[in-house]
Amino acid sequence: MNRITRWTATSAVAATLLAGACSESTSPSSSDPSAMATAVTNLNAAFSQNAVFQSLAAISSSVVLAAPPVLPQLVPGAGPAARATPRDLMLQLARRAPTATLALFPANELGKTFQWDTASGGRYRIIDSTLSGAPANGIRFILYAVDTATLKPTLPLRTTGLVDLIDVSNAQSNGIHLVLRVGSLTSADYTVTEVKTTTSLSLTAVGYVQDVVTSGPQVTFDLSHLLSLPDSSLVTNYHATGNGATVTMQTSYSGAAAGKSETLDWLFQRNGSVEVIGGVKADSTNVEFKFNGSTFATVRADTSGQPAFSGPNGRALTAGEMLSLLTIVEQFAEVYVNLTLVFLPALVFFG
């Protein structure tokens, strides 16, 4: 199984730096930076600190997730992205996706429970076919604590919960209804839907995730990817709410090789707003950072690839402001990757 790579900011440091960025004299005084920082940290924690949700990685073989490719252009020294972009993943899915809907699970697996088999070198399989409780029109996986390096269950096995994957496909689409449980509590409940036409492939996810072990806030989401098959352009729309905060991330990818480009409009709102908006091309970058609608900083880069940050009226940013802006990018990237994790079952079982 390939490792799922994630860009993760340290929450405590991120909260401090985000607060520092918003509290500068040039940012609107009406914002509440500490509340905004806490809200984005808690929103991320619903995924990254949720042990049972992270355990889904163990059933997701041959999937590589990464932060948005815009990251190297906005973070000096980050280097080029060497991992799969969201468009790469959609293109892989498009090559596998059938033009007509098919049963997602073999008939002899329906109603069965998969467990981790240490005796077979480590993989999921049906060890005891008499286990009951799995959905009649789907399958069940027992989930275990995973090693953060290999994303495989640690030994000795320690159960974190279970997930039911229910086939809800119809004549127009493939669909998986995912229900994640810890004991009698539901930690996630959402549906992923895939629709393929002669010209496009769409992937949507609607539902919620919650860390029920710590009684954390529930994060509801409505996510979509739309891939144009003729030119391989991709439009991604992520919308999530939790802990009184709302995050909206609109990202588009087009072109290939030297002509590729990416546009983004990422907005976080809670007692004020933080927005990252602009475009990144192979030979240029032009992105603005806004607080409560007012431009606080701009980053531009040319063919040299080195981003140049400036404040209002072209003034130089302080070292503290620079660190704050880079942390904002990291926070958005972490939200992006956490939301993308929702699609893991689809990337495995669709097609």
Tokens of 120: 């077979």
Would you say residue 153 lies in a domain? yes
Would you say residue 151 lies in a domain? yes
Residue type, 241: T
pLDDT on residue 43: 77
Would you say residue 3 lies in a domain? no
Tokens of 206: 């609607």
> Maximum distance among all alpha carbons in the chain?
70
Q: What is the mean pLDDT of residues 13-24?
A: 37
Residues 202-216 have pLDDT tens digits of 999 999 999 898 888
Q: Tell me: pLDDT of 46 over 60.
A: yes
Tokens of 154: 């640690």
Output the pTM of the full model. Answer: 0.84
Nearest of 163, 158, 167 to residue 193 by alpha carbon: 167
Backbone angles phi, psi at 115, to 5 degrees: -125, 160
Would you say residue 173 lies in a domain? yes
Most confident listed range (147-151, 238-242, 325-329) = 238-242
Strand, coil or helix: 184: coil
- Given a contact cutoff of 8 angstroms between Cβ atoms, the answer to whether 348 and 60 are in contact is yes
Residues 113-146 have pLDDT tens digits of 999 998 877 888 899 999 999 999 999 999 999 8
Q: 168: part of which helix (H) or strand (E)?
A: none
Confidence of residue 348 (pLDDT cuts 50, 70, 90): confident
Quick one: what percent of the chain has pLDDT higher than 70? 77
Residue, of 220 and 18, whose pLDDT is higher: 220
- Distance from C-alpha of 340 to C-alpha of 69, rounded to nearest angstrom: 14
| Kind of pairing between the strands at 113-117 and 123-125 | antiparallel
pLDDT on residue 71: 57
SS3 content of the chain, % helix, strand, coil (to 5): 25, 35, 40
For the CA atoms of 254, 63, 2, 60, the dihedral, rounded to the nearest 10 degrees, stands at: 170
Would you say residue 1 lies in a domain? no
Would you say residue 21 lies in a domain? yes
Mean pLDDT value across the chain: 79
Q: Tell me: pLDDT of 63 over 60.
A: no
Q: Tell me: pLDDT of 2 over 50.
A: no
pLDDT on residue 20: 38
The answer for 89, left when phi > 0, alpha when psi is -120 to 50, beta otherwise, is: alpha
Q: Tell me: pLDDT of 80 over 70.
A: no
Q: What is the mean pLDDT of residues 327-340?
A: 83
Q: Give the count of domains, the chain.
A: 1
Would you say residue 275 lies in a domain? yes
Would you say residue 2 lies in a domain? no
Q: Tell me: pLDDT of 256 over 70.
A: no
Q: For the residues of 51-72, what is the DSSP string, one character each?
A: HHHHGGGGG-TT------TTHH
Whole domain around residue 140: which residue ranges?
Answer: 11-349
- Given a contact cutoff of 8 angstroms between Cβ atoms, the answer to whether 111 and 131 are in contact is no
